[in-house]
């Protein structure tokens, strides 16, 4: 029998008047590596935040590596999402700042951030030095990049380095593989496997049945209750076929009207597009045409230039004016405003999600899609109010319309942001990693909604994902970027 390492006894948590965790009992031994799994909204993130002392709880949490008052300081956590500060100690960024050279100059570089966080070069008890961790997680190629210009996956790798430099007794990773490309996931598996072999205690939080080999035990939460726990080899995951899937009333979509002009031949046309910051090219010689009603997958490794390419379409990148780019058959820089472009585009991205107004309710978040704002800053007329209500009902989240977006589960937040992107029924839909961190049920619901919507309205679609299984069935064209260049264009063959 392993010695006691972490004990959770009858722990219950209430947040905003709602019971989130109830009577959680979990005993973790000294040599055990745990995964906490369960569907979206089951309380996984709340549990790890409670272990770290971020929530008031009833019950008892104790550890072998400290008293109840101080053991939390010896836990390192890598969150799903991460904010950072600029050189003036501000963290209230907006997501377009990533593409502005002036704002990049106001943020620390990766090297400066790491030097401030941990300046000592020595072998740590996990067996690595700072330089070795930087090389192992491929941060050495990013050292001179401003933090604000890192891709989602690159930022995740940086946070992993910083967490490992803390030399905590327990390393908790909340959805560690989301946002990472195939190579990044392989690297992380290798690193965690080595850490486990060196005796570093790990706790991984995830939604699916993919549990790494170095995990020895699994606990499953559902609706705030601990459903089961024990050895991984004895653990039985619930089959997706046993779970009720959300029902999508495709007939209701027919009552939605386009409302926006879709009189164009090409949603996007780029001619020899080049984007650079300083001496570094982010995109080179991009030639791409997206015809009306086409459904594209955009893919490539972290840092390949996908988000920069999308920023040229969503009117968030000022370098669009220095290139030959046509949106909806009109050349950029011929008198159109960014709002003329945005009103015809529905958009989701990890950056938009991260920087969205934290004070907005679910209802206000959906409504903001009518005005392309990061929050709702104007009154709705009756027709607009009824339309938002309609969409809240359609996505089956009317019951949470008055809750803050930040109070909802990650799955609920993503579905809310999807409704925000769809509410004006745009002729072009751009979805950047929209299923990131969703459980299997919510992913299927999300894909089905996109398929129904695009087929009903012949919507033009650009869809970004590192996971092939997340791509909607309607997608049949594929663009692959590598090192800022188009490496491959393919078309799905009908079987």
Judge if 10 and 48 occupy the same domain.
yes
Walk across the sheet containing 34-37 and list its strands: 75-78, 170-174, 201-205, 34-37, 217-222, 225-231
Judgement on whether residues 203 and 256 belong to the same structural domain of the protein: no
Domain assignment of residue 447, yes or no = yes
Residue 135: inside a domain: no
329 and 185 together in one domain: no
Q: Which of these, 109, 106, 108, lies nearest to 97 by C-alpha position?
A: 106
Q: d(Cα 178, Cα 466) in Å, to the nearest integer?
A: 9
Whole-number Å distance between alpha carbons of 491 and 433: 21
CA atoms within 13 A on the CB side of 310: 32
Q: Which residues contact 337 (CB under 8 A, 6 or more apart)?
A: none
**What are the helix (H) ranges across 282-400?**
306-313, 338-342, 350-354, 362-368, 382-394
Report yes or no on 423 lying in a domain: yes
Structural domain count of the chain: 2
Q: Please check whether residue 9 is in contact with residue 36, taking contact to mean a CB–CB distance below 8 angstroms.
A: no
Mean local confidence (pLDDT), 159-188: 85
pLDDT score recorded for residue 194: 84
List, for residues 54-113, the tens digit of each pLDDT value: 999 999 999 998 776 678 888 988 887 655 555 554 444 444 445 554 455 667 899 999
- Which residues are paired to 271 by β-bridges? 324
**CB of 29 closer than 8 Å to CB of 6:** no
Do 84 and 212 fall within a single domain?
yes
Q: Answer yes or no: is 73 within a domain.
A: yes
- CA angle in degrees (0–180, nearest 5) for 419-422-427: 170
301 near 488, Cβ under 8 Å? no
Burial class, 98, CB count within 10 angstroms (exposed 0-12 / middle 13-18 / buried 19+): buried
The CA distances from residue 100 to 302, 319, 340, in Å, are: 20, 9, 20
User: pLDDT for 271-327, tens place per residue?
Assistant: 999 998 878 899 999 999 999 999 999 999 988 999 899 999 999 888 999 999 999
Same domain, 416 and 269: yes
**DSSP bridge pairs for 28:** 6
pLDDT digits (tens, 9 = 90+) for 386-401: 999 999 988 888 999 9
Residue 148 maps to a domain: no
Residue 244 has pLDDT above 60, yes or no: no
- Domain interval for residue 339: 250-491
3-state secondary structure of 486: strand
Same domain assignment for residues 411 and 273: yes
Task: State which of 238, 265, 297 marks the end of a domain.
Answer: 238
Would you state the pLDDT for residue 1? Answer: 44
Q: Are residues 223 and 263 in the same domain?
A: no
Residue 99 lies in a domain: no
Say which CATH number the domain at 435 has: 3.40.50.300
pLDDT tens by residue, 368-388: 999 988 888 889 999 999 999
Pair 284, 388 in one domain: yes
Q: What is the mean pLDDT of residues 445-470?
A: 90
Q: Which of 461, 397, 470 shows the shortest CA–CA distance to 426?
A: 461
CA gap 485, 203 in Å, rounded: 38
Query: What is each CA distance from 426 to 85, 362, 364, 415, 476, in whole angstroms?
Result: 34, 20, 19, 17, 20
Sheet of 18-29, strand order:
18-29, 4-15, 58-63
**3-state SS class at 257:** coil
Residues 299 and 400 in one domain: yes
394-445 pLDDT, tens digit each: 888 899 999 999 888 877 888 899 999 999 999 999 999 998 877 888 888 8
Q: Which of 238, 269, 294 is the last residue of a domain?
A: 238
Q: Rounded CA gap, 371 and 247, in Å?
A: 28
- Phi, psi (5° rounding) for residue 217? -135, 150
- What span, in angstroms and rounded, lies between the C-alpha atoms of 278 and 282? 10
What is this structure's pTM? 0.83
> What is the rounded CA–CA span in Å between residue 137 and residue 79?
17
Q: Which two tokens stand for residue 177?
A: 């593989």
Q: Do 216 and 323 lie in a common domain? A: no
Q: Are strands 225-231 and 217-222 parallel, antiparallel or unpaired?
A: antiparallel
Q: Give me the chain's average pLDDT, please.
A: 85
Q: Do the domain assignments include residue 256?
A: yes
- Confidence band, pLDDT 50/70/90 cuts, at residue 39: confident
Three-state secondary-structure class, residue 61:
strand
Query: Of the residues 238, 267, 296, which one is the last residue of a structural domain?
Result: 238
Helices 440-457 and 410-422 meet at what angle, rounded to 10? 10
Answer yes or no: do 234 and 254 share one domain.
Answer: no
Query: How many other C-beta atoms can be found within 10 angstroms of the C-beta atom of residue 319?
Result: 20
Residue 232 sits in the same domain as residue 308: no
Does the residue 147 lie in any domain? Answer: no
Q: Give pLDDT, residue 27.
A: 94
């Amino acid at each position: 029998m392993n010695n006691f390492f972490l004990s959770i006894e009858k722990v219950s948590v209430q947040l905003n008047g709602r019971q989130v965790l109830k009577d959680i009992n979990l005993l973790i031994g000294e040599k055990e590596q745990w995964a906490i799994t369960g569907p979206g909204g089951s309380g996984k993130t709340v549990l790890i935040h409670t272990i770290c002392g971020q929530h008031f709880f009833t019950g008892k949490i104790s550890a072998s590596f400290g008293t109840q008052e101080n053991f939390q300081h010896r836990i390192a956590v890598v969150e799903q999402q991460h904010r950072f500060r600029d050189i003036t100690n501000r963290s209230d960024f907006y997501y377009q700042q990533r593409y502005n050279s002036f704002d990049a100059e106001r943020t620390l570089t990766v090297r400066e951030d790491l030097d401030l966080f941990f300046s000592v070069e020595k072998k740590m008890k996990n067996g690595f030095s700072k330089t070795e961790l930087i090389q192992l997680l491929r941060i050495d190629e990013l050292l001179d990049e401003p933090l604000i210009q890192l891709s989602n996956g690159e930022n995740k790798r940086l946070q992993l380095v910083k967490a490992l430099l803390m030399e905590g007794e327990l390393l908790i990773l909340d959805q560690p593989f989301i946002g990472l490309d195939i190579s990044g996931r392989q690297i992380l598996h290798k690193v965690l496997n080595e850490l486990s072999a060196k005796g570093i205690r790990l706790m991984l939080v995830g939604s699916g049945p993919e549990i790494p080999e170095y995990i020895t035990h699994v606990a499953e939460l559902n609706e705030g209750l601990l459903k089961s726990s024990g050895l991984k080899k004895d653990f039985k995951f619930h089959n997706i076929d046993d779970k009720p899937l959300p029902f999508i009333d495709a007939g209701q979509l027919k009552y939605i009207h386009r409302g926006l002009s879709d009189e164009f031949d090409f949603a996007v046309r780029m001619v020899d597009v080049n984007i650079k910051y300083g001496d570094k090219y982010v995109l080179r010689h991009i030639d791409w045409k997206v015809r009306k009603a086409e459904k594209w997958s955009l893919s490539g490794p972290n840092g390949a230039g996908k988000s920069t390419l999308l920023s040229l379409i969503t009117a968030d990148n000022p370098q669009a004016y220095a290139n030959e780019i046509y949106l909806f058959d009109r050349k950029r820089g011929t008198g159109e405003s960014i709002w003329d472009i945005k009103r015809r585009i529905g958009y989701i991205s990890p950056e938009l999600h991260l920087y969205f107004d934290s004070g907005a309710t679910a209802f206000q978040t959906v409504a903001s899609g009518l005005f392309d704002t990061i929050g709702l800053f104007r009154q709705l007329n009756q027709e607009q109010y009824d339309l938002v209500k309609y969409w809240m009902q359609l996505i089956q989240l009317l019951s949470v319309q008055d809750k803050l977006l930040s109070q909802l589960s990650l799955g609920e937040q993503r579905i809310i942001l999807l409704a925000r992107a769809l509410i004006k029924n745009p002729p072009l839909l751009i979805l950047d990693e929209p299923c990131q961190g969703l459980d299997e049920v919510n992913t299927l619901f999300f894909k089905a909604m996109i398929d129904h919507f695009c087929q009903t309205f012949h919507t033009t679609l650009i869809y970004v994902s590192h996971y092939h299984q997340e791509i909607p069935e309607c997608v049949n064209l594929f663009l692959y970027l590598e090192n800022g260049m188009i490496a491959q264009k393919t078309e799905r063959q009908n079987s």
